[in-house]
Structure 1
Amino acid sequence: MIRLARLRFSHFVSSLPFLLGGMVAARLPVLNEFFISLFNVLPTLLLLLGGAFCMVYGRQREVVLLALLYIGYFLLDIQVDHFREHGQVRSDAVLVFHLICLLLPALYTLYGCWQERSHLLQDLFARALVLLAVGAVALGLARRYPQGIADWLVQVHWPALHGSWMSLAQLSYGMFLVAFIALLVQYLRLPRPLHAAQLVGLLGLLWMLPQVFILPHALQVMSSMVMLVLVAAVAHEAYQMAFRDELTGLPGRRALNERLQRLGRDYVIVMVDVDHFKKFNDTHGHDVGDQVLRLVASLLRKVGGGGKAYRYGGEEFTLLFPGKSLEQCMPHMEAVRLAIEQYRMQLRDKQNRPRDDRQGKQHRTGKSANEVSVTVSMGAAERQAQQRRPQEVIKEADNALYSAKAAGRNCIRSAAQRRGAVRVVVDGD
């Protein structure tokens, strides 16, 4: 099921700059000697170092994609070098070029849609076996029927669909179209930076292949950029794994700790806890509990006043307001607390679940026996002379959160209010 809310431009942030930069650099008539030397060795470096980096994170799919791109680059580089040295192409250039233009997008899509398995070595062996089998068949046919295969590849199979702008064989464009649709569907079904990078890389190959014998640096530059796109996407996802909570999409505790090190003199920290979450989880099940956490996270993400939400752990969240006082933050905290309290959540079976958000909103307008709501308690603390370190402020916010729970939950308590209540009790004693 495709959910447009999960599609983000940020998935393409690590990929598009390399593609655009590669297109610009490849079109330059002259490159500095340093960059010429760099792009001559960069594909090999990316295969070795980038492949090792992908293996560390268990991304065997990207390892094989890098190997596939390098094989294509290597075979085309042989043809291009001969063309530059002798002023004419090799006798097998037409056959090799059009075979690569057909098989490269086909295998790129096959491996791009081939999900990783838990057994790393077995998965790599299976992918390598497919690559060897396809390569062996292509090599065997090319050696036995070189002219027949070449004529079939360059033949216009569908005259009505042929255009004068086509620089590649018609079959190649058909394969690129199938590849683009397959990778696009994969991204729409499961939006993630790696799937976005595969789409961008495919576009880079489509742009590169017609320019191989025309632009002097197109092959080296764009092959490097497409491989770099994949490695950068692996790094992007590795960062998300470390700093972003997978369930809610909020920055995680490690991201919060990093941000706490760069705070100024004034800030407010708010600890947020979902009321009676364990009881709710035990009653309705863990799947519904996960929905509740995602709901709370989505509403906390909308907090105003310059605040930012983090997943602290379990059913606890943190709101951070840099450069603010407690008085300035209180209205925004109350607004988000009220939004969570007023939100009505419908418990439905997956078979009866609305197909889109509009139907879901219509269901939420009326009351239902399966309707539930959740509330949160909040404890807030701002930096004081007595609490200079962020961890001390967090401890104060935690104590204020316990005070909010003791006061009946679904409310906000500040550290100052808690200290005032303690003084009243002490004085009364």
Structure 2
Amino acid sequence: MFRLNAVRASHFLPSLILLLAGLAAAYVRDLNVFFTSLFNVLPTLVLLLGGAYCAVYRRQRELFLMVTVYIAYFLLDTQTDFYRDNGRVREDAAVIFHLVCLLLPALYGLFGAWQERTHLAQDLLARFAVLFAVGGVTVALEQSYPDALLAWLAEIRWPSLHGQWMSLIQMAYPLFLLIFVLLIVQYLREPRPLHAAQLIGLVGIFWMLPKTFILPFTLNIMCSQVMLMIAAAVSHEAYQMAFRDELTGLPGRRALNERMQRLGRNYVIAMTDVDHFKKFNDTHGHDVGDQVLRLVASRLSKVTGGGRAYRYGGEEFALVFAGKTAEECVPHVEAVREMIANYT
């Protein structure tokens, strides 16, 4: 079931800013020594800092998304360094590049959709096992049958669907499309900043791969940006957990306390609650009670006059009007009260 009412542009905004910044930086050709040195170490720095951040919050899914992106970066960076230093590609460049084009979106989608539902240690071990198994089998095939593997990867299976614009192996395109649809469905079912970041990150990866050997620092920049998107999403969700009420979607009591410190001298606070809510909750059950709270919160969030709604606790809500007098706010409070009372 899709939760379209929970979709927010703010979920996508940080990742879109990072994506656009990465695109702009990738097209800058004349870089001084400082930026050249920075881009060379940036992916490693982002992995270490972002990985430590995810580990502190016990976010294995995000950690393994970062690790997956970094492994792809490391494999391709070895190839691009050789290409820049020698003016030619390594003998295994084609097979490595094609494998990354296939396995990066596959593992990115797998770890992106794999939610933490088991014990922390079991989940961590399972993810390591998958990564190790895929990596071990891939290395074994590449070492034992490089020519056969390259031929299988590069084969054009659907000639009628193949275009001259395709810079990646043909199998990569339906795989990217499948993962993109999977991540869209995941976001619509559970809209949250992480799922939005995964979508934008996949777009960045898709743009990056064909440009890997063309634009000098595309690989370094975009891999760093994708990992930053994931770390920023973890930070965004940590903020929401602290300051936003999960049930109603309104800012919570901590957010209200923060706002109170910045209101100045002139403000109005209207405290509201739901009459006979405890009796209603006991009669009809907590699930129906939660629906009532969501309904009330959705109406309070539409208060006019510059007011903002907060969930204070339980069935109590607060409306805050900055720079207003009580006489100015009464009509707006009464209007939202009538809206709730007349709901059918």
- TM-score, reference length from structure 1: 0.79
- Aligned pair 1:43/2:43, yes or no? yes
C-alpha separation between the residues in 1 aligned to 2:95 and 2:9? 39
Query: Alpha-carbon deviation of 1:272?
Result: 0.7
Deviation at 1:32, TM superposition (A): 3.1
User: 1:33: how far off?
Assistant: 2.4
TM (norm. structure 2) is 0.98
Matched, 1:328 2:328: yes
**1:164-212 superposed Cα distances (whole Å, 9 cap, x missing partner):** 1111111111211111111111111111110000000000000000001
Cα distance in 2 for residues equivalent to 1:194 and 1:169: 29
Is 1:94 the counterpart of 2:102? The answer is: no
The alignment status of 1:201 with 2:204, answered yes or no, reads no
Cα deviation, residue 144, structure 1: 1.4
Aligned to 1:411: none
The corresponding residue for 1:119 is 119
Instruction: State whether residues 14 and 236 of structure 1, in contact with CA within 8 Å, keep that contact through their aligned partners in structure 2.
Output: no
Query: What is the aligned partner in structure 2 of residue 155 from structure 1?
Result: 155
> How big is the shift at 1:4?
1.9
Structure 1 CA distance for aligned equivalents of residues 10 and 113 of structure 2: 21
Separation (CA, whole Å) in 2 of partners of 1:33 and 1:317: 56
* Structure 1 residue matching 2:14: 3-state secondary structure: coil
Q: Which residue of 2 aligns with 1:423?
A: none
* Aligned-partner Cα distance in 2 for 1:196–1:321: 32
Q: Residue 118 of structure 1: CA displacement?
A: 4.4
Deviates more, 1:3-12 or 1:92-101: 3-12
SS in 2 for 1:237: helix
Q: Deviation at 1:48?
A: 1.4
1:82 alignment partner in structure 2: 82
Residue matched to 1:311: 311
Deviations 1:233-258 (A, max 9, x none): 00000000000000000000111111
Task: Check if 1:103 corresponds to 2:103.
Answer: yes
- With 48-57 and 103-112 compared, the bigger mean Cα shift is at 48-57
- Higher mean C-alpha displacement, 156-165 vs 279-288: 156-165
Contact 2:3 2:191 in 1 (8 A): no
* Cα displacement (A) at 1:117: 2.5
Q: Which residue of 2 aligns with 1:187?
A: 187
Whichever of the two has the greater Rg, that structure is 1
What's the CA shift for 1:80?
0.5
Tell me the CA shift for residue 132 of structure 1: 0.5
5+ long unaligned stretches in structure 1: 345-429
Aligned AA for 2:66? L
Tell whether the 8 Å contact from 2:18 to 2:225 is kept in structure 1 after alignment. yes
Q: Secondary structure of the residue that 1:170 maps to in structure 2? A: coil
Measured in 1, the distance between the counterparts of 2:306 and 2:115 equals: 40
Letter in 2 for 1:158: W
CA deviation after TM superposition for structure 1 residue 52, in Å: 1.3
CA RMSD of aligned residues (A): 0.9
Q: What amino acid is aligned across from residue 60 of structure 1 in structure 2?
A: Q
Q: Which moved more, 1:124-133 or 1:113-122?
A: 113-122
Counterparts of 1:63 and 1:308, CA distance in 2: 36
Q: Is the 8 A contact 2:142 2:149 kept in 1?
A: yes
1:255 counterpart residue number: 255
